[in-house]
Structure 1
Amino acid sequence: MSSNTKFEPQPTSEPAEPVVPDQDLVKEILDQMELVYGVDVEGELFAPWEQFRVFFMFRGEAEQQVLSVRAFYDRSHDIEVKYKLLEVIDDWNRRTLWPKVYTHAHDDGTLRLIGEVQILIGLGVSLEHFVSSTVSWVQASIEFDKWLVEQLGSE
């Protein structure tokens, strides 16, 4: 191809209109995944597992609206193992795209982990992209829990 030849891809079909995801769309995705879910007292949608919960939280207004998907892992860790725990989750964060995991210190001196990923949805997103992302985020949250148990050697 010469340097003055312009390549212009030809669309094979009309692109789908973007959608602005909402809680009902996430519920549909969770139904398709055959997952149990609920809505807490604050109106937040969540899917529970034995050792963690994944929340789907819509934040912001109009064009700045974000969907934050957060996994709250229930296993508590003593503050004394924070350095080791940080080494392990840093390894996860370097090697994976999501969820990004961080520690949260509780008043009783224990640490718990939170995994998080966000997507800007205010102007709309491709439905296909949103569905595949949401499924991937849930699967990755489950995989992190399994991986963490393997790394720490405890259930």
Structure 2
Amino acid sequence: MSIDPSSIPNFGGQPQQPQGEGPAGPVVPDQDLVKQLLEQMELKYVTDEEGDLAAPWEEFRTYFMFRGEDDQQVFSVRTFYDRPHDLETKPALLETIDDWNRRTLWPKVYSHTHDDGTVRLIGEAQMLIGTGVSLEHFVSSTVSWVRAAIEFDRWLVEQLGLEQAVDSAVEDEKPSDDE
């Protein structure tokens, strides 16, 4: 399954408010608001065993998490990229993600080396929400973070030449003429 970032609706345009009314006050986002947003974006999601929302893609999954309490509560959008990388390639991989981190605001991407020696990438963006935020800011940031998570995966595939590996794997799965 592949999602085109341009297919995600732009929630930036809000209806005009009647004269004399100012913008709505701050809201403290919660999981129900995120569910509504994901449904509006037409993204499938599940709730994991810890109660966090997760939207799965073919090569990664994005979690929408609330951590902390009261005025210190943080909303985090964290993407776990499932494509394994060899430990020997980690220095080049780090150079590549450093380039991404210098060029973009989000997600900030870092690596994690598993016990079996494989390296996987994680992208993350966070917002302090404990004292409340503008609904428009919350929605536009969350949509932008999801788009950027998708874009990072595409960018990484292009930077590392992984599209050739994906194409050859698909070719290897096709039956040969003599079968």
Give the AA of the match of 1:122: G
Percent identity between the aligned chains? 74
SS of aligned partner of 1:76: strand
With the length of structure 2 as denominator, give the TM-score of the two structures. Answer: 0.79
SS of aligned partner of 1:114: strand
Give the AA of the match of 1:83: P
1:92 to 2:100 alignment: yes
Match of 2:175 in 1: none
How far has the Cα of 1:13 moved from its partner?
Answer: 4.8
Deviations for 1:88-129, whole angstroms, at most 9, x for unmatched residues? Answer: 000000000000000001000010000001000000000001
Counterpart pick for 2:48 among 40, 54, 57: 40
Pairing 1:139-150 to 2, within 5 Å after superposition: 139-150=147-158
Pairing 1:95-134 to 2, within 5 Å after superposition: 95-134=103-142
- Count of paired positions: 144
RMSD of the TM alignment (CA)? 0.9
SS of aligned partner of 1:20: coil
- Give distance in 1, aligned partners of 2:21 and 2:141: 22
How far has the Cα of 1:15 moved from its partner?
Answer: 2.5
Pairing 1:43-54 to 2, within 5 Å after superposition: 43-54=51-62
How far has the Cα of 1:60 moved from its partner?
Answer: 0.3
Counterpart pick for 1:79 among 87, 93, 102: 87
SS of aligned partner of 1:140: helix
- Give distance in 2, aligned partners of 1:75 and 1:15: 43
Bigger share in strand: 1
- Give distance in 2, aligned partners of 1:69 and 1:142: 12
Counterpart pick for 1:57 among 65, 76, 86: 65
Match of 1:7 in 2: none
Pairing 1:14-29 to 2, within 5 Å after superposition: 14-29=22-37
With the length of structure 1 as denominator, give the TM-score of the two structures. Answer: 0.91
Structure 1 stretches (4+) deviating beyond 4 angstroms? none
- Give distance in 2, aligned partners of 1:24 and 1:146: 29
Gaps of 5+ in 2: 1-19, 167-179
Gaps of 5+ in 1: 1-11
